[in-house]
Structures are given as C-alpha cells and as structure tokens.
Structure 1
Amino acid sequence: MNILITGASRGLGLALADESLKRGHSVIAAVRSPEHGGKLAELRERYGANVETAMFDVTDETAIARFAAGYAARGKRLEAIINNAAILTERGSSIEELDMTEVARTFDVNVLGPMRVVKHLLPLMDGTGGVIVNISSEAGSLHGAYGGDYAYGTSKTALNMFTEQLKHAVKPRGIAVYAVHPGWMKTDMGGSEAPGDPRTSASGILDLIERRTAPSRRFSFVDYSGSAMDI
C-alpha cells in the first residue's frame, strides 16, 4: 500500500511513517523543505526505497499540484492519504487579544491544507478504494468544547465538517474517510505532560487504514481505536 503522510518529519507523522513501514507499506513523507525531513533519515536507512520524500507545504497549492502530476506521470497510485500536518496557535488568548492573522494561518494549514491535498491527490486513488484520514482533535467537538482555543478548536471543527462532506462524495468510489482524534500525546504540540504515546495512536490509525477496524456509525469522527467521538 502506498501511503502519503503530511507533516511526516516529527511527532505523530513520524510515528505513522514508522508504523506504516513496519507493516510493509511504502510511505511518501510530505515535508515543507529538506531541513524539515532530517528525522526521516533513519527510516530511509532502514527501509530504503520504501520511503520517498515529497517536498511541499500544504499551504502551497501549486507545489501540491506539481507533486501530484509528477507522481501520476510515473504511473504511481495512492491507497491512503493521512492529512496530519497542523499548527497550534493562539491557545489561551481571549477574544479581545486574538491575533486574527494567526487564526487565518491556522485555518490555512489545518483546514485548507487537507482540502488542497485531497483536491489534487484524490485522482491518484481512483480505482484503488483506499482510505483518507484527517487528523482531528477532541478540541473540534462541540459537545466537549472548552474556552480559550479559538483558532485550533474551530479549525478542527471545520476539518470534521470537511471530512463529512468528503465522505459522502467519495463513497461511490469505495473510499473510506475518517476524522481521527489521536489522543493527547507526548509530541512537540502535545507537550511532555501528555499521557499518550504517538506510536500507540499510529498503530490504531493504521488499523483503520488497513480496515482491521471498521467503525459502524453515521458520522466519521472517531478516535484512534475507531470508537465514536462526540460531535
């Protein structure tokens, strides 16, 4: 299975790449620039040609389209896309203090980024069935909303809606789509106090991609084990 992962250079993205390779899949690790792909070097040493680096920023539609065209020209197909790249800004800011430039940047990465990726890479999945995973968060749940997280929380709610829209659009092609809460993990974003391990989350997400786990519910918002999340 060819699996493209955005934000693959660290944290959950790196764990997803590692887990995918351990299971015998090929990984296309999307990073913004060569210096952001340093942590992938060890995976390339261990897995060789099964690891490919794609240089594009999810905010750069031209670069994404260029990658997609080049990948298609090589006769390649994708079986899975994991939209993992995201940023966390303005946490704890009051509405009076909110930097709207940062809010717009958050939406550009966290919502429009996955939309751009799917827009240009979806044709590479035609005829494959396949799975698209958008890495979401419990912060995007209306039911569990908490204060002080305007940018990230609302971006993940919007990502959940995009997931629902996409799910209905691609269902006739046999493509499954999930918005996945990976848990609070020890990563640069999650911090050192987080209880979770990104390797555990990565394993659960790969089970979804391999369809070992098949959530049975109306909505596509689930945690990494496939259990339903509150909308």
Structure 2
Amino acid sequence: MVNELLPNVKWSLVWNATQQTLYMTGISVVATLFLGIILGLFLYLTDKGNLWENKIIHAITAAFVNIFRSIPFIILIILLIPFTLFVVGTFLGAKAALPALIIGAAPFYARMVEIALREIDKGVIEAAESMGATHLQIIFKVLIPESLPALISGITVTAIALVSFTAMAGFVGAGGLGDLAFLDGFQRSRNDVTLVATIVILIIVFFIQSIGDFLKHATDKR
C-alpha cells in the first residue's frame, strides 16, 4: 500500500538523508550553544554598566554578531567555501556544511543569550557582589542559572532554524533531507519524494520543540 502511494521513495535513501540531517543539526547545535553563550556573555558583560564594561570589546563583538547574523545563509555558505576547504578539506558533504551552520547560527543565538541576560534583575547581581562573589561565580551561579529557561527557549528556536539551514545546505551538495527533496524529488518531478522528505523534517522539528518545551518547564522556577 505504501509503495503504491509513494512509488519513487527509496527508504534507504530517506534514512541516510535523515541521518545526515541529524548529524549536521546535532553537531551544529552543540557548537552553537557553546559559542553563542560565550558571545552573548561578552555582549552583555562588556556593555555599559555591567561587570566587564569595555566599549572596544563590546563594539567588536557586536559587529561580528551583527555581520554574520545578517548574511543570508545560502550566501554565507558560498562566502565560507575557502574557509571550509581549509578546515574540512572539501566543500561537499555533511561535514562541509558545519562551518557555515555554526558561524551562521552562533551570532543569532548570541543575541538571544544577551536578551535573556538583560532580563535578570540587577538586584540579584548586586546582592551576589555584596556577598563577595567573584565574576566567574556570578556568571555560573547567578547569570546562567537565572536565565536558563530563556536560554533553553533560545537554543530550541535556533535548533529549529538549523534544521532549515541544513535543508538549504542540501542545495549546494551538503546532503541531508534538503538534498534529497531537491535533487531526487523536485528536479526529477518526484513529488512523493519531496513530500516524504518534508514530513520527516517536520517530525524532527516537532521533536526538537517538544524536548525544548519540556526542558524549559523543568528548569523554570516561577
């Protein structure tokens, strides 16, 4: 019955493409979480009136974030081809998509981190300072714990955006479900292949959103 409804779908190819999409998404989410928190902390801490106030570092960090956050992802992939060749050795395949995915998503998430940190009551930080807490203690015991639900919401949104990015990366030979939908589906007029690839992407997105919602509620103290 399924084969009759979806005659052009080769499930082994769908499974391989799904694995490639999950690989690209998983690696890039972990790297984006790490780099995004660092960038977000620098944006917040070096801003006026905060712990590490420094106009020059803040301006440099903000410029980096704004530039790479503003470049359309498909253009970013092309711009980063020399860098990708240097780091990975090729600009084709799932691994080759990782630099563009991470560099494109980390600044986006960094702004979400900065917004989350700005929502923390300054009184909490001042109280920690008055008790003799070091800057690192304030970061790891006040700023990050207090903003954790917002940080989880932010990385959930970013992870879903990364799934979309992996689909676009498929257009330039990165593999994954986007590549399957475009090359094996659209270009060969196999609508059933495109439909199946789209459904699998939606399932991945719903799964990510469900995990994000669960973790957000589990860490929300309110």
Q: TM-score range by the shorter chain?
A: under 0.3
Instruction: Normalising by structure 2, report the TM-score.
Output: 0.27
Q: Which has the higher helix share?
A: 2
Higher RCO (Cα < 8 Å, 6 or more apart): 2
Instruction: Normalising by structure 1, report the TM-score.
Output: 0.26
Q: Which has the higher strand share?
A: 1
The structure with the largest alpha-carbon Rg is 2
